[in-house]
Structure 1
Amino acid sequence: MGITWQDSLLLILKTTSQILTAGIAITAFSLLLYALTFNLRDQVARSFAVIMLCVVIIFTSEAISSISTQIAVLDFWGRVEWVGIVLLPPSYLQFSDTVLSTTGKVSRWRRRWAVRLTFLASLVFLAALPFPSIFGYLVTDRPPAPHFTISFLTDLFTIFYLVVMALAWFTFMRALRRTVTPTSRRRMIYLLFGAAAPALGGFPYLLYGSEIAAQHPLLFWSVSVLTSLLVGTLIIVMAYAVAFFGVSWPDRVVRARLFKWIMRGPVTASFTLTFATLVRRAGEMYGNATYTAAVPIVMVGTVLLFEHLITVFGPLAERFLFYGRDSESMELLHLLQDRMLSRDDLRQFLETVLAAVCDQLQAPGAYLASLNGDQMELVVTIGKTRFEGKQVSNALSALMAQKEDFPQLFQWGDDLLVPITNGEEEGKFQLLGLLGVSQMAKLPADEEQSAALTLLTERAKLALRDWHLQEQVFKSLESLSPQVEYIQRLRAAGSYDQSNVLEESSNLNGDLTQWVRDALTHYWGGPKLTDSPLANLRVVKDAIENHEGSTANGVRAILRAAIERNRPEGERRFTGEWILYNILDMKFVEGKKVREIASRLSMSEADLYRKQRIAIEAVARTIQDMEQETYHESLDH
């Protein structure tokens, strides 16, 4: 007897359900990692991560059970699945409580004890889970899928599940009513809809509906497929709403980051699993081995294809979905990022220019110095010159100070110097740097050499001018960044509780950076440390108490902790990634001199001072974050 269309449809639905179940597990695990990576400090994100962990346990166990036929394996994974189911209600209640707390309704003793009691009740159910006589036996010989029998404890758990979920949804509704702004209210609605996914998808419906499911298998598997699609979609909606909690990034950054995470993680992994499963099932249908060589080929090909598509079309999707009316401004920022002239780029280009100068003039060496403030900074050398390595020439700086007007070409000892100037208004010229040619006792008499030198000087001028303009842009961004970040913090703080705007503004004093700078200058003792206004911050007050009332030790401990938070991971190095930390540690903690630090970090003193200012601002922002953490911890307690 051949296979009927009902059997074929049933097989397709069952396979689709298995793939979707595994896809939900993959998605939940990916979103769990996202919450732990980007939102770990926020209590809402931490509670969301616990729910995602329960979802991972439930759907991973169900996916493994769906492809196994051994009774022992089915029983083990069936009870593991129940671990996630049992922990889901208290996790939901805790999540709803943290969401309500975010709106300004701080968790008092009743809500706090309700969460604790539900977790305690879940532990009781978990303790009974290994005993079939108490929690039920596994049924494997009745369609449509393996399930556990009903017992008194499972009935009691069902009541517990429904009551706790009802309390959680009541708390969610209270949080929704407390939101005021249209944006926060819209996201809270997204959160409510998304939060329905684990509650609907996590309950074991076969516990009570196995008879109906056995009589109507097509209906059961159709509903299972639709439910899985709904659960997977709503989990992403829930993650989208949670992604905005506890972060001060602009909305477009949050959306773009989550979009990339989902596309490169759950979407790619789910499609890879889908195609691999289809290839394996096709092999089974045609009598081949379950695992063929085509499976890894399809998996690798799918991953590479999706990564390629995401790389090519991802930026277009971001521009269309997230930039909105700011698309032109964002395009300029991306253009600046992609075409930024780095120090290595500048050095490589100028080395090419100097090599061409040496070739045209038959000179043994050449060098180029850039004007940095009132000093000449040697940028690059090639061949034999009077300079050793990349040390800054005091002689060039002195020469520049002696001359008010530079001729087009002039001799400096045995070297030929070519001023690099930038034309300005009223016939005045701004000196950008000097191009020197070693051992050129006389000016080039050949017209071709003169023309080549003029052209190459123009090339160097173009690079130096763009470099100076780029530095001005960066300085503007550096001065603007603290204010923009402060506005973003206020916006994030007041999204769900407008009183946080006042609290945030009272904590974040505009003089914080100056306080940090003063305290660091007297890091090992002095009035700027002992009398620092930083002592008025909550986090510093706690540190002072921990140091037996010593203001100096308390402030110093917080400064040290803030510096360490800016330390990159891994072993200490003297690379670009470590510059800010090395400056802070060497300048203020170790007390080394500026010249020694500049020499050790291979930078000019002017560049060191600029980086030092950025490093101090980073410490101030870190202390600002620590103060907010202390404030939120005080609310939790």
Structure 2
Amino acid sequence: MFDQLPDLLALLNDILEAVIVIFGSAVVLYNLGRSLRDPVMRAFCGLIIFVVVAYLAELLVSRTIVSASVEGFLRFQWIGIALVPAAQFHLSSTLLSTTGALPNRRRFLVPLGYVVGLVFLGLALFTDFLVTNPVSNPLASLAHLEAGPIFPVFAAYFWLMTASSIYNVWRARQRCITRTTRQRMTSTLLTYLAAPLGVFPYLLVISNAGTGQAVIPLWLWPIIILGNLVVGLMFGVLTAHLAYFGTASPDRVVRVRLFKFMARVPLAGSIVLLVYVLVSRNSPILGLPAETALGFSLVATVMLVEWAIHAYKRPLERLFQLNNDPDVRTIQRLSERLLTTRDLQQFLESILAATCEALRTPTSFVAAITPEGPQLEAVVGPLDEPGEIFQDADWRQLAQTAEPSNGNSGDALEAVGEFFVWRNYWIRPLRSRQHELVLGILGIRARSDEPDLSEEEDEIFGRLLNQAAQALEDRILQQEVFAIVEGLLPQIIAIQQRRSEATFGGLPVLAQKSPASSPVVSDPDFNMMVRDALTHYWGGPKLTTSPLMRLRIVQDAMAQHENNPTKALRAILNNAIELQKPEGERNMTTAEWILYNILELKFVQGQRVRDVARRLAMSESDLYRKQRVAIENVARAIGTMELASQDGASDEQ
């Protein structure tokens, strides 16, 4: 048993290294999109990649069964070892610049660090000056290279760059003013040794201190395992605090996204890996072939992990203080209880089915009253063409008393008691709770010339009418709230962006002067100009003669579009539309995608209003209301681009 202990410790170390590789790769994937536009994330992803390369190579060396491949993997490991110091200094420089410190000498030191790292990498890959022939530990199967003559020079460079990096982060911490940013930078400073501690080739030093082959003593294995464990925890803390850089989302949103991603991707992968190792080593004990045991155990593990994340998501969020704000909890409850268009249709269909059953009629329907006339919401049973049913009637009469009106926009409805008789239908208005507004109508196919409901039928029908009216009223109130929120959304996004930029930028960001407004942008009819240009998106006088042609961004874009102002303006409109596109996979009916879908379907694809409304599962009146908000957002985006262009031109001057 004692003889097998080194092998067990080596296996445990391999598992820990594999977990670090999995989590490191997941961190890079998680931040890959932001790394393209944010310097902090770009530098951090570079650092993580080099660390992952170093750990992956070491893991491959321990699993290699062909001795000829050992040296190749050991030299491949130096891609990470040689470039970690430069990447670490690069990250510290971007963190310091984020707090407002000017780069000055650092703008030259960062590329110089990468150049020196590449020189050491070349020496490690193609010569024996830095590292030389591999050494294999016969006791624990731990292989490594021997130190070459200039290895002390590399070690000095490695720790000098590390010390400089820590000094830069310390300076960044000193420049932080708010408590939150100071706490984050303090945690970053305390965990900044994770990369150098994890990748520095200590075994080269041990090998040089010994005589020939390095024999790793048994007591050193717990130290190696503990060191890897500490490094993994430090990287976790570093990731958790650097995730806030380069995003305009609130801190709570960043925490929740990071938590969900880490739970579903690297944590699940690590658990599956652990189960694989345990089952593959013990499958004979279970009395099953290795393939069968592995198949069942891995599938069961994936299912159980996903189930646990789904079932205990809310308790875990509370445990880790995610989404713990009372306002957020209120919004979550509202999101679970929203009355969507489909929910309304299902409820109204249930009411109509009950109406048909109670009144013994084959057809009933509910229509909402809109400025354009009645809009059918739900129907049960065979119904004539709605356009023919609703045409030629003076539906404004419903907003008045039960007395017949002499409306001149259509034929008067025949009032019989509380009903209006129109063609083959009995119609009752659906009023708001205060009975001040007619929200819609509920119609049933007539079973006789005049309404002849019994007292019991009239009582049941009254209850059903009230429920249908309340559903319509609640939907209208909800849509009004959505319209207000959607109108405020650009301002909220702007404030969040400003908050994100000012978190570490402070006074320079908050006190910067706003550029002067463009005459076109400041025109009171600017939104109408944008709407007209969108209506003729693929050509027409409202696009070719649009006043938007005078915008600086359109003039600047002409060089990229064959000096054609129409194509340039269309490109600007398309860019503004794309700015309304949310992150993630496109969905036709979710609230966050509605505005972008309206713009893309209505103007870019040129579909009819009726087709767009049907595809987005909304009424045409609701579509027009949301379209107005979407156009306002596009106009605001174009105005922002124009002001940014003017600001850039003034800086160049």
Aligned residue among 561, 567, 586 for 2:575: 561
Q: Residues 179-578 of structure 1: matches in 2 within 5 Å?
A: 179-210=176-207, 217-283=217-283, 291-322=290-321, 326-327=325-326, 329-372=327-370, 375-388=373-386, 393-395=390-392, 398-401=394-397, 403-406=399-402, 408-424=418-434, 428-440=435-447, 441-498=449-506, 499-503=508-512, 515=526, 518-522=529-533, 524-526=543-545, 528-532=547-551, 535=552, 543=557, 556-564=570-578, 566=580
Task: State the Cα distance separating 1:8 from its structure 2 match.
Answer: 4.9
Q: Is the 8 A contact 1:520 1:588 kept in 2?
A: no
Q: Tell me the alpha carbon deviations over residues 141-174 of structure 1, each in whole angstroms, 9 at most, x when there is no partner.
A: 4555100011134333222222222222222222
The letter of the residue matching 1:44 is V
Q: Is the 8 A contact 1:65 1:78 kept in 2?
A: yes
Aligned to 2:380, what secondary structure does the other structure show? strand
Structure 1 position 402, deviation (Å)? 6.2
2:118 counterpart of 1:123: yes
Instruction: Provide Cα deviations, 1:240-262, integer angstroms capped at 9, x if missing partner.
Output: 11111111111111111111111
Conserved 8 A contact 1:179-1:497: no
Distance 1:480 1:508, change over 3 A: farther
Correspondent of 1:51 among 47, 52, 55? 47
SS at structure 1 position matched to 2:330: helix
Shift of 1:19: 0.9
Instruction: For residues 489-519 of structure 1, give each alpha carbon's deviation from its aligned partner in whole angstroms, at most 9, with x where no partner exists.
Output: 2211110011222349659999799856634
Report the secondary structure of 2:184's partner residue.
helix
**Partner amino acid for 1:487?**
I
Residue identity in the other structure for 1:152: P
Preserved contact between residue 580 and residue 633 of structure 2 (Cα < 8 Å): yes
In structure 2, how many angstroms separate the alpha carbons of the residues matched to 1:571 and 1:340?
Answer: 21
Higher helix share: 1
Amino acid at match of 1:297: F
Contact 2:25/2:49 (8 A) holds in 1: yes
SS in 2 for 1:370: strand
Q: For each residue in 1:261-308, what CA deviation from the matched residue of structure 2 results, as whole angstroms up to 9, or x when unmatched?
A: 111122222122122212223358x69999453223222222222211
> Does the C-alpha gap of structure 1 residues 502 and 89 become closer, same or farther in structure 2, counting only changes over 3 Å?
same
Q: 1:19 to 1:585 in 2, by over 3 A?
A: closer
Label 1:622 to 1:61 Cα distance change in 2 as closer, same or farther (>3 A): farther
**Aligned AA (1:97):** S
Q: Deviations over 1:341-399 (max 9, x none)?
A: 211121122122212222222323111111345743211222222334x8994556x32
CA contact (8 A) 1:39 1:243 kept: no
SS in 2 for 1:293: helix
Q: Among 84, 89, 105, which residue is 1:93 paired with? A: 89
Q: Identify which range, 517-526 or 296-305, moves more after superposition.
A: 517-526
Shift in Å, 1:485: 2.2
Structure 2 distance, partners of 1:600, 1:231, is 51
1:287 and 1:599 map into 2 onto residues whose CA distance is 57
- Three-state SS of the structure 1 residue aligned to 2:437 is strand
User: 1:106: Cα distance to partner?
Assistant: 3.8
Q: From the superposition, tell whether residues 480 and 578 of structure 1 become closer, same or farther in structure 2 (CA, over 3 Å).
A: closer
Whether contact under 8 Å (1:47, 1:94) holds in the other structure is yes
Deviates further, 183-192 or 296-305 = 296-305
SS of equivalent residue, structure 2 residue 505: coil
**CA apart distance, 1:201:** 0.4
Q: What amino acid is the match of 1:477?
A: V
1:20 paired residue number: 16
Whole-Å Cα distance in 2 between the matches of residues 219 and 386 of structure 1? 87
Verify the 8 A CA contact 1:361 1:444 in the aligned structure 2: no
Residue type of the alignment partner of 2:126: F
Match of 2:156 among 139, 159, 178: 159
Report the Cα offset of residue 541 of structure 1: 7.5
1:10–1:217 Cα contact (<8 Å) kept = no
1:410 and 1:249 mapped to 2: Cα distance? 53
With 577-586 and 332-341 compared, the bigger mean Cα shift is at: 577-586
Gaps of at least 5 residues in structure 2 are 403-416, 535-542
Q: CA deviation at 1:26?
A: 0.4
Quick one: structure 1 residues 191 and 559, their matched pair in 2 at CA, closer, same or farther if it must change by over 3 Å? farther
Residues 290 and 64 (structure 1 numbering): CA distance in 2 closer, same or farther, change over 3 Å?
A: farther
Q: 1:583·1:597 contact (CA, 8 Å) conserved in 2?
A: yes
1:25, 1:41 → 2: CA distance?
Answer: 25
Deviation of residue 35 (structure 1)?
Answer: 0.6
Q: Secondary structure of 1:420's match?
A: strand
> Against the structure 1 CA distance between its residues 423 and 341, is the aligned structure 2 distance closer, same or farther, given a 3 Å change threshold?
closer
**CA distance in structure 1 between the aligned counterparts of 2:418 and 2:522, rounded to whole angstroms:** 48
Range 80-89 or range 457-466, more displaced: 457-466
Unpaired runs of 5+ residues, structure 1, are: none
Instruction: Out of 351-360 and 520-529, give the one that drifted further.
Output: 520-529
Which secondary structure does the structure 1 equivalent of 2:244 belong to? coil
Q: Is the 8 A contact 1:598 1:605 kept in 2?
A: yes
Pair 1:506–1:392, CA change in 2 (3 A): farther
Call closer, same or farther: CA 1:129–1:628 in 2, change over 3 Å.
farther
2:120 aligned partner, one-letter code:
F
Conservation of the 8 A alpha-carbon contact between 2:317 and 2:323: no
- Going from structure 1 to structure 2, the CA distance change for 1:15 and 1:599 (only over 3 Å counts) comes to closer
Aligned residues: 618
Judged with a 3 Å threshold, the aligned counterparts in structure 2 of structure 1 residues 582 and 275 are, in CA distance, closer, same or farther, namely closer
Asked whether the 8 Å contact 2:40–2:94 carries over to 1, the reply is yes
Which stretch of structure 1 is more off in the superposition, 154-163 or 552-561? 552-561
Displacement of 1:65: 1.9
The CA distance in 1 between the partners of 2:635 and 2:570, in whole Å, is: 13
Identity rate, percent: 33
How far apart, in 2, do the equivalents of 1:245 and 1:620 lie?
Answer: 29
Once residues 513 and 418 of structure 2 are traced to their aligned partners in structure 1, the CA distance between those partners, rounded to angstroms, is 58
User: CA 1:33–1:14 in 2, change beyond 3 Å: closer, same or farther?
Assistant: same
CA contact (8 A) 1:378 1:392 kept: no
Q: 93-102 or 498-507, which moves further after superposition?
A: 498-507
Q: Distance in 2 between matches of 1:24 and 1:72?
A: 26
User: For residues 600 and 456 of structure 1, do their structure 2 counterparts lie closer, same or farther at Cα, with a shift above 3 Å needed?
Assistant: closer
Secondary structure of 1:423's counterpart equals coil
Query: CA separation in 1, counterparts of 2:643 and 2:94?
Result: 17
Q: How far off is 1:24 after superposition? A: 0.3
1:77 aligns to what?
73
Deviation for aligned residue 1:23: 0.3
Within 2, Cα distance between the matches of 1:571 and 1:249? Answer: 18
The amino acid across from 2:217 in the alignment is P
Q: Specify the code of the residue in structure 1 equivalent to 2:230.
A: L
**CA distance in structure 1 between the aligned counterparts of 2:388 and 2:550, rounded to whole angstroms:** 41
What residue number does 2:169 align with? 172
Q: Which digits, 9 at most, give the CA deviation of each residue in 1:418-463, with x for residues without a partner? A: 2222232xxx433221100123432133333323322322332232
Cα distance change of structure 1 residues 469 and 604 upon mapping to structure 2, 3 Å threshold: closer
SS of residue paired to 1:479: helix
Separation (CA, whole Å) in 2 of partners of 1:313 and 1:72:
49
Structure-2 separation of matches of 1:488 and 1:542: 29
